[in-house]
Amino acid sequence: MKRIFKIASALFITLVTLNTSAQLKGLDLVKYVDPFIGAVGEGHTFPGATLPYGMVKLGPDVAPLNSNSGYLPQGNIRGFSHVHVSGTGGPPKYGNVLVAATSGDVNIKDFSTDRANEKSSPGYYTVQSTKYKLKSEFTVTHSVGFHRYTNTNKGNLNLFFDLGSFLSWGGYKEVGELDQELVGSEIKIVSATEIEGYTRVRGGWNVGEAYTVFFYAVLDKPANAYGTWKSGQIHEGSKEEFDSHEATGAYLTFDTAAATIQMKVGISYISAGKARQNVHIELAHWDFNRVKKAASDTWNKKLNSVIANTKNEDQKKIFYSALYRTMLMPVNRTNENPKWISKTPYYDDYYCIWDTYRATHPLLTLIQKKEQVAMINSLLDIYKNEGYMPDARSGNYTGRTQGGSNTDVLIADAYAKGLEGIDYHEGLNAMLKNAEVPPGGNERQYGRGGLSDYNTIGYVSTDFERAGSRTMEYAYNDFCIAMVAKGIGKDSLYKKYIKRSGNWENLWNAGIKSNGVSGFIWPRTRNGSWQGAWNVHKSEGWNGWLYEGNSWEYSLYVPHNVNGLIKKAGGNSAFIKRLDTFFTKNSQSFHAWLNDYYNVNNEPGFLTPTLYSYVGKPAKTNETVRKIIANNYNSNPDGLPGNDDAGSMSAWYVFNSIGFFPVAGQDLYLITSPMFDEIKLDLGEGKQLSIISKGLSQNNKYITSASLNGRPLNRSWFTHTEIKNGGTIIFQMAPVPSNWGTAILPPIIQ
Amino acid sequence: MKRIFKIASALFITLVTLNTSAQLKGLDLVKYVDPFIGAVGEGHTFPGATLPYGMVKLGPDVAPLNSNSGYLPQGNIRGFSHVHVSGTGGPPKYGNVLVAATSGDVNIKDFSTDRANEKSSPGYYTVQSTKYKLKSEFTVTHSVGFHRYTNTNKGNLNLFFDLGSFLSWGGYKEVGELDQELVGSEIKIVSATEIEGYTRVRGGWNVGEAYTVFFYAVLDKPANAYGTWKSGQIHEGSKEEFDSHEATGAYLTFDTAAATIQMKVGISYISAGKARQNVHIELAHWDFNRVKKAASDTWNKKLNSVIANTKNEDQKKIFYSALYRTMLMPVNRTNENPKWISKTPYYDDYYCIWDTYRATHPLLTLIQKKEQVAMINSLLDIYKNEGYMPDARSGNYTGRTQGGSNTDVLIADAYAKGLEGIDYHEGLNAMLKNAEVPPGGNERQYGRGGLSDYNTIGYVSTDFERAGSRTMEYAYNDFCIAMVAKGIGKDSLYKKYIKRSGNWENLWNAGIKSNGVSGFIWPRTRNGSWQGAWNVHKSEGWNGWLYEGNSWEYSLYVPHNVNGLIKKAGGNSAFIKRLDTFFTKNSQSFHAWLNDYYNVNNEPGFLTPTLYSYVGKPAKTNETVRKIIANNYNSNPDGLPGNDDAGSMSAWYVFNSIGFFPVAGQDLYLITSPMFDEIKLDLGEGKQLSIISKGLSQNNKYITSASLNGRPLNRSWFTHTEIKNGGTIIFQMAPVPSNWGTAILPPIIQ
């Protein structure tokens, strides 16, 4: 009888839930999102449950825990942890506060399980254990993971809380790199339904100092038995383990009557008390389905910022899954900063801005303006409190800088596009800090490594790692400083930095030839001479001369002076030939890799397909972008060209398939290759931008005419200023190019 | 009846205690220690209860909480907090986990009290409240404060736990400086006898990132009523306040029957659980007097490392109080490092090595060798984990560097004196990091600020703050590197650094004259020209050219090449005249201040009184040191010449009154002015060094002959090598100088 009553009341609750949150905001778009896209292969995307910019990212950690997202398509699930990142590479970060469920005997040495019926949708993840005959389900609020375990084997159910678990490569160490390692943990069973504690971990990709993830878990049924462990030693009936720099954990056991166990796990970077408060504030009830629905609704509302129409349902799936992934990171940790008090929003897991400044942030500026302003202010607040804006930040710790000081581009972009609510004078100060003060001791952590060279001889010499990519990016960063300085009336600063923005020329070696093309950037020693042996196709890592890109790619990265670049490269036809060769020599196979000339997975080339516009060949952009997308994106779990890089690959896709791409840092969009019949962007404040592509088809990939708000748009570009109050762009598509866009070339802003 | 029983059992416990720890180790020397010496005036010494290098420093915080030690001689006591430093200046640090007792109504707005019968002895502090008719007593173990409150008014007793209290100048802010400010706090009344929580604070003197002090308090009697508060809002009957970045607190109320309340407060930098564990491990009983006695015994054992004989009891008081103060800092926080796991000991509150390398650490090398080795290893472990050894560190955060990279001197000193258990190759790496890698962004935090100048033009130019003192100290630091490099067979490094150690000459301006003396170090611009207007008597702070010392002082700071300095200064007689002028122009008044030529309170001059030895005039050292001591040290609460600087002024006194002074970084001691008839140093491992001064008196201040282990010592110096296995030095004292020590001059080690 008791059992039947329980089922009845559960049904009742479900009905109530459906009633109270019946109507969706906007279209049902979450149905197009498949969180598994990119989760397999090199995409490293996180397929678990989370909200937009959500602090809790609750998902499976699959043995051997060496995955960046915790997820692997094969292998046993060790448990479900509450903090993850998405799409990253290098030594992994997070994977903290792991919970696992089993039935049968308590075995603290192994609570991993096989897996079946794995499913995921925005804000929800579920998997079943054949071994333990258990179903595990997870949904989330911003800071709380909601667990539901259904025991179908009528045996007992055990829950394990493992504070010694985290993602790692198993102790990887190189000079300047550090795998995650435990610093300490503590656990306390507060009552038969409550448990709290923390795990403290340091290292990982950004070689961060120790961060602490606190949790408070509350269950809907009391445990019948419990115990703790420390460093693998079980203590039955014990209620707590203090922090002696060891791995601790606890388990709770429930009797057979408890067919379903629900649990809320609040997470905090402040304290266990704050984690408990997060539960109290965000999740006052026990209705799992209601939370699941609310999470889905939250996502749906965000996804409705872009309405994309096409008959191709698979394309919608690719598109909305990509749009979804652009909102996984950074993470909003306002009120969760353990380092200082501020009224400014606090975001963590900028991972990293080198990846996201090119597409993700410009996308936010269009469809999530408030988030973009909040993020820029969070970066300025970090500058104010720590001395530098981060290029990458994770675990409340700034480091590493991959290339330039890319926050400069964010600020210039915001300024160029007129974002309000940002102190641009403070922004300029923060940019000048990057540009003038060498980061010292650890040149990978802050600002601009190799700055002492750059500011004296005009380029970063081979004495420093990543000297080539650094130089190219610093030049563009300097342009960004110049633009903001000019805008706020700092003329002498403008002059200084606009001059410095020409520094890329100092690495241009006209004598280098590759595949019929002449002139490439090339390694240069401190005394000014060119380095002898090197390879323009060489794409390298942290210790190399060019970071994640070869000289073909970086020799095309001068976003502020494409005309100057064209001149250096031998004029228009030489430049067209260069681009043609660049993209032709791109492997047409799926998952292009490092030895290809062009690689969509290398962010330095994000803008390159649009450069045809600068030589009056927008049709070549049309076809190139289509080809890249066709070859690199699909709706399979391995449907991304490489690491999603916190949504960067996804943002690239979103922009290009909408039909234009931003020149980050400038008031300029270059038209690419629209892939939807109609697409509507919600710019906020009731403003909407529609892009209508008439006659679009597989064959009709060329834009032959265009209009903006009813007036002809005889150019392959437009400005943010032109569309920021909304409007309509109409493209006429055709199977062969016209002379559209060949005459009025994109402006060189100086 | 109940009452009488309690008193009887208390007596019984006391008797047992006396029985079990009756016999002292060595002489009763704690009786000579007055912790109030230096606590009044500029000494800033901590007069509360602590153990040697003790983590808990439990003492009164006197309103308005702007004192560096928490203590002020006048004013109401706000409460008793558990973490302090001793002898420091600048914006204060710590003052965390404040407890206060009152009787009568609960008033969370004001629990401060007047004060009477304040007393302190090593490991014990007591004061009475007239207002509340309460007696408060405190003793300590390493990590636990033991409180005893005796209520003589028969009313109730209230205990307040204020986690929003800390020492500060009330919001002081300057560029690069930051007063302490709250980041958060949390409190939880766990049971009627237990309470725990933490306070998180950042800033203070070293502009540190947030540090967190956790506590766990357990009482010997249950509270009758309780409540909490947050940001001044009381919550009666509430048991917890979570961390919302606000000031929290809690109170407990006890009924009148509780005439005495005892409480143990464990402190930890790891967690509340670790704080509780610290209580369990260190303090398993409730016998206050036993703990007090153990603390006293611990101190006595440490003090017995020096047995000083004199009929002058006041001199013993000054001496042993000074010796006591040399062991207050740094603080041993092994197993309390929240940043990384290591088997190496962990010390914090190096505050700072610029102060302590000259006398304190060499003193440890003699009488606390194991501590010195542990500290150096802790510094190397910080280097390994954070990239640089600290010059100053507090709150688990490195910063600020006052002058040179003074850990270099510590390592060279240890190497020169043959300390075992240190990896000198790693030490050399850490020194080279200081010498070669500019600290960048914040040049006050790590390594050597202005290094880019120093390593290119051979001095720090006026472009940088503290350029003069930095240059002088870097030159000596380079000498230290050279010595270690030479020792471990790195010849080319030796050559490079021994050459660089001559860089002090680059600031020597032969044309500068002051009071008949020619040649001083002088500010120099980047292009090599001398700065025009300046003042050799100018002693400056963080933004000045010379830090805490004038050009008279720094122009005498070339410890590695005094002969070279003498030559620069015009030869022996000019140098003698220079020294005579330097010390004569010293104000003979107590508390010499910044415009005097010589100021014992400026560490750069610590070695200067001994420089007479280098020109064969040790008698002048004899008389100068006596004069300095007589004018600057006494047994009054304001009996120190200025900030004790973590015991530095005290260590200077200890060495000079023993009769010699170390040339830190070298295997060399210079004889000063013995002030005890006999003094015995326990060098450890059964080795003892005795210094016997025959015929010593007020008049007989000159050494006229000496012997070392029975052989004549016809020089005013000896080496560590000569005495490290113990021995006996005998001085013959007389009222007029002889020619002793005039011929064999101290060696110049290169």
Encoded tokens for B69: 């030690």
Given an 8 Å threshold on Cβ–Cβ distance, is B245 in contact with A452? no
Taking residues A689-718, what's their average pLDDT? 97
**Tally of CA atoms within 13 A in the half-sphere of B82 that contains its CB:** 32
**pLDDT number for residue B25:** 54
Contact A271 B186 (CB under 8 A): yes
Rounded to two decimals, the pTM is 0.94
Q: Which positions in chain B touch A271 (Cβ < 8 Å)?
A: 184, 186, 198, 242-243
Q: Is B226 helix (H, G, I), strand (E, B) or coil?
A: strand
Contact B441 A202 (CB under 8 A): no
Per the prediction, chain A carries an average pLDDT of 94
Q: Does A188 touch chain B (CB under 8 A)?
A: yes
- Minimal Cα distance from A450: which residue of B? B440
Residues B3-12 pLDDT 10s: 333 433 444 4
How many angstroms separate the CA atoms of B565 and B611, rounded?
11
Is the CB of A333 inside 8 Å of chain B's CB atoms?
no
Q: In Å, what is the CA distance from A46 to each residue of A39, A201, A653, B433, B584? A: 6, 20, 18, 40, 75
- The partner residue sitting opposite A338, judged by closest CB among B200, B387, B441, is B200
B240–chain A nearest CA distance, Å: 9
Contact A338/B at CB under 8 A? yes
- Burial level of B488, CB count in 10 A (0-12/13-18/19+)? middle
Cβ separation of B441 and A442 shorter than 8 Å?
Answer: no
Give me the residues of chain B with pLDDT under 70, please: 1-25, 258, 586-595
The reply to whether residue B183 touches residue A341, judged by beta carbons under 8 angstroms, is yes
Q: Are strands B702-708 and B727-734 parallel, antiparallel or unpaired?
A: antiparallel
pLDDT (tens digit per residue) in A320-352 = 999 999 999 999 999 999 999 999 999 999 999
Backbone angles phi, psi at B408, to 5 degrees: -55, -40
Q: What is the mean pLDDT of residues A417-425?
A: 98
* B271 shares contact with chain A (CB less than 8 Å): yes
- Out of A241, A276, A440, closest to residue B440 by CB: A440
Retrieve residue B234's tokens.
């009381």
A429 touches chain B (CB under 8 A): no
- The sign of the torsion formed by the CA atoms of B652, B658, B659, B660 equals negative
The answer, yes or no, to whether residue A594 has pLDDT greater than 60, is no
A114 and A133 in contact (C-beta within 8 Å)?
no
Closest partner CB to B184 (pick from A198, A244, A270): A270
Q: Among candidates A201, A175, A179, which has minimal Cα distance to A444?
A: A175
pLDDT in tens, A470-487: 999 999 999 999 999 999
Reported as a single tens digit per residue, the pLDDT across B708-731 is 999 999 999 999 999 999 999 999
Interface probe for A, chosen from B216, B343, B442, B443 (most Cβ of A below 10 Å), is B442
Q: How far is B394 from chain A (nearest CA, A)?
A: 16
Number of C-beta neighbours around residue B719 at 10 A? 16
For A155, counting Cβ atoms within 10 Å of its Cβ (0-12 exposed, 13-18 middle, 19+ buried), the class is: middle
Share of chain A above pLDDT 90, in %: 89
What residue in A sits closest to B437 (Cα-Cα)? A441
Chain B nearest CA to A542, separation (Å): 19
Please name the residue of chain A whose CA is at the shortest distance from the CA of residue B276. Answer: A242
| B202 touching chain A per CB within 8 A | yes
Q: How high is the ipTM of this complex?
A: 0.93
pLDDT score recorded for residue A25: 54
Which chain B residues contact residue A274 at CB under 8 A? 186, 242-244
**Phi/psi of residue A671, each to 5°?**
-75, 135
Residues on chain B touching A202 (C-beta within 8 angstroms): 339-340
Q: Interior CA angle at A457 toward A453 and A459, to 5°?
A: 65
Residue of A183, A270, A447 with shortest CB distance to B441: A447
Q: Does residue A251 surpass a pLDDT of 80? A: yes
Beta-carbon contacts of A567 under 8 Å, excluding residues fewer than 6 positions away, are: none
Give B-chain residues touching A270 at CB under 8 angstroms: 184, 243
Contact A441 B442 (CB under 8 A): no
CA atoms of A275 and A268, how far apart (whole Å): 5
Q: How far apart are CA A585 and CA A492, in angstroms?
A: 44
Interface check for A182 against chain B (CB to CB < 8 A): the answer is: yes
Q: What was the pLDDT predicted at B24?
A: 43
For residue A184, the distance in angstroms to the closest alpha carbon of chain B comes to 8
pLDDT at A46 over 50: yes
- Name every residue whose Cβ is closer than 8 Å to that of residue B323 and which is 6 or more positions away in sequence: B303, B306, B650, B654
Question: B-contacting residues of A 436-465, CB under 8 Å?
Answer: 437-443, 446-447, 452
Closest chain B residue by Cα to residue A271:
B243
Burial group, residue A15, by CB count within 10 angstroms (0-12, 13-18, 19+): exposed
The two structure tokens encoding residue A365: 């500026």
User: Residue B277: which of A181, A242, A439 has the nearest Cβ?
Assistant: A242
Residue with tokens 């892009």: A691
Q: Tell me if chain B has a CB within 8 Å of the CB of A181.
A: yes
Q: Give yes or no for residue A7 having a pLDDT over 70.
A: no
Q: Which residue of A has its CA nearest to B273?
A: A242
Query: Any residues with CB less than 8 A from the CB of B719 and at least 6 apart, and which?
Result: B667, B668, B669
Q: What are phi and psi of A134, to 5 degrees?
A: -130, 145
- Across the A:B interface, residue pairs with CB atoms under 8 Å apart total 115
Look at the block and give the residue holding tokens 């943990």. Answer: A185
- Number of other residues whose CB lies within 10 A of the CB of residue A117: 10
CA distance B542 to chain A (A): 19
Q: Identify the band that residue A15 occupies on the pLDDT scale cut at 50, 70 and 90.
A: very low
Question: Which residues 241-270 of B are in CB contact (within 8 Å) with A?
Answer: 241-245, 270
Q: Is A499 on the interface with B (CB under 8 A)?
A: no
Handedness of CA B123, B129, B130, B133 (dihedral sign): negative
Contact A273 B242 (CB under 8 A): yes
Nearest in space to A282 (alpha carbons), one of A367, A218, A209: A218
Residues of B in contact with A335 (CB under 8 A): 244-245
Q: Which residues 605-624 of B are in CB contact (within 8 Å) with A?
A: none
d(CA A399, CA A350): 10
Q: Which of chain A's residues have a Cβ under 8 Å away from the Cβ of B277? A: 242, 244
Q: Going by DSSP bridges, is the β-strand pair A717-718/A702-708 parallel, antiparallel, or unpaired?
A: unpaired
Q: Which residues of A touch B452 (CB under 8 A)?
A: 438, 452
Take residue A568 and report the two structure tokens written for it. Answer: 């250096």
Interface contact flag, B387 A240, Cβ < 8 Å: no
- CA distance, residue B174 to nearest chain A CA (Å): 13
Tell me if chain A has a CB within 8 Å of the CB of B175: no
> Which tokens go with A477?
């960063």
Instruction: Give Cα A455 distance to the centre of its chain.
Output: 31
Nearest to B340 among A183, A277, A437 (CB): A183
Q: Kindly list the distances between the CA atom of residue A37 and the CA atoms of A45, A321, A652, B50, in Å, as whole numbers in the listed order.
A: 8, 7, 15, 60
DSSP sequence for A220-231: SS--SEEEEEET
What was the pLDDT predicted at B441? 86
CB contact under 8 A, B338 and A183: yes
Q: Do A442 and B186 touch (CB under 8 A)?
A: no
Is the minimum CB–CB distance between B210 and chain A shorter than 8 Å?
yes
Give chain A positions within 8 Å (CB) of B184.
270-271, 338, 341
The C-alpha of A178 sits at a distance from chain B's nearest C-alpha, in angstroms, of 11
